């Protein structure tokens, strides 16, 4: 499997795992700040960007094996791991299946999966239902707005929309990644790594109440909620994000 990855900075390794439909470019708001203290590794998940796009559906466990491949290729035995959304599910699989490779764990805007988790908020369910009848660019802008807080910052909407247009996901790869998220029913085994769970209170994509449910499954996990922030809070509040992550890792 070809997995495209890059690194910035030096120090303790920190692996970033992105969510559905976003390639490694989408970490750019926070990579410079994190790279001041850490050797930041970030990559394109299978199905997107410059990585291979095998036929789906994918699973979070398969995608966690890709993340391990990045650590192996980078010569890293053990790293801090940070995952957002689908990337948070992948990070959970990595921490449960290869605990010796994970130092500290940060799970952002994600869910523990399974029947007990809070379902997708109704506003996003309706948007998916409406999107098929919309002009593709109109639908894309709506999805960008939906991923931000309430109200979304117009300038940030324009920036993200332009980047999404310039970096369109592979349709089959997107569907295969989406299957990994929809099929995630939680991990087998315990997550032992010290864990921080971050979530925006205005997240329209994954209900922020999942943060507390996730914390119940991870011994001594700590939850921090970002008031008024949306699903992509690391774009909305990059300096706050870097500060919180750095304080936890130190």
Report yes or no: 103 and 250 within 8 Å, Cβ to Cβ: no
pLDDT at 217: 95
The span from the CA of 68 to the CA of 70, in Å, is 5
The span from the CA of 225 to the CA of 211, in Å, is 8
Q: What stretches of the chain show up as alpha helix (H) in DSSP?
A: 31-34, 60-74, 86-97, 122-131, 136-146, 154-166, 171-182, 210-216, 233-236, 238-249
Closest CA to 27 of 10, 45, 12, 11: 45
The span from the CA of 204 to the CA of 206, in Å, is 6
Domain boundaries, the chain: 5-249
The span from the CA of 57 to the CA of 180, in Å, is 7
Quick one: 137 exposed, middle or buried, by C-beta within 10 A (0-12, 13-18, 19+)? exposed
Overall pTM surpassing 0.85 (yes/no): yes
Please, which residues bridge with residue 82 across strands? 16, 106
The span from the CA of 170 to the CA of 168, in Å, is 7
pLDDT at 220: 85
Q: pLDDT tens string for the chain (250 positions)?
A: 999 999 999 999 999 999 999 999 999 999 999 999 999 999 999 999 999 999 999 999 999 999 999 999 999 999 999 999 999 999 999 999 999 999 999 999 999 999 999 999 999 999 999 999 999 999 999 999 999 998 999 999 999 999 999 999 999 999 999 999 999 999 999 999 999 999 999 999 999 999 999 999 999 899 999 999 999 999 999 999 999 999 999 9
Q: The domain 5-249 belongs to what CATH superfamily? A: Alpha/Beta hydrolase fold, catalytic domain (3.40.50.1820)
């Amino acid at each position: 499997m070809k997995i495209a990855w890059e690194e910035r900075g030096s120090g303790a390794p920190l692996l970033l795992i992105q969510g559905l439909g976003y390639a490694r470019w989408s970490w750019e708001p926070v990579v410079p700040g994190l790279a001041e203290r850490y050797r930041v590794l970030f990559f394109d998940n299978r199905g997107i960007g410059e990585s291979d796009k095998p036929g789906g559906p994918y699973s979070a466990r398969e995608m966690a094996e890709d993340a391990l491949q990045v650590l192996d290729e980078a010569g890293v035995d053990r790293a801090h791991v940070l995952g957002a959304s689908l990337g948070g599910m992948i990070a959970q699989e990595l921490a449960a299946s290869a605990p010796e490779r994970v130092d500290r764990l940060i799970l952002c805007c994600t869910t523990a999966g399974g029947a007990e988790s809070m379902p997708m908020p109704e506003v996003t369910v309706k948007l998916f239902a409406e999107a098929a009848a919309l002009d593709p660019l109109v639908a894309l802008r709506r999805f960008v707005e939906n991923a931000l807080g309430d109200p979304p910052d117009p300038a940030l909407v324009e920036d993200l929309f332009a980047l999404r247009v310039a970096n369109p996901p592979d349709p089959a790869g997107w569907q295969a990644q989406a299957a990994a998220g929809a099929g995630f029913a939680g991990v087998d085994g315990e997550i032992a790594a010290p864990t921080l769970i971050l979530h925006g209170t205005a997240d329209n994509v994954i209900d922020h109440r999942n943060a507390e449910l996730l914390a119940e499954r991870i011994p001594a996990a700590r939850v921090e909620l970002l008031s008024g922030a949306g699903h992509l809070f690391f774009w909305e509040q990059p300096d706050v994000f870097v500060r919180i992550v750095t304080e936890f890792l130190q």
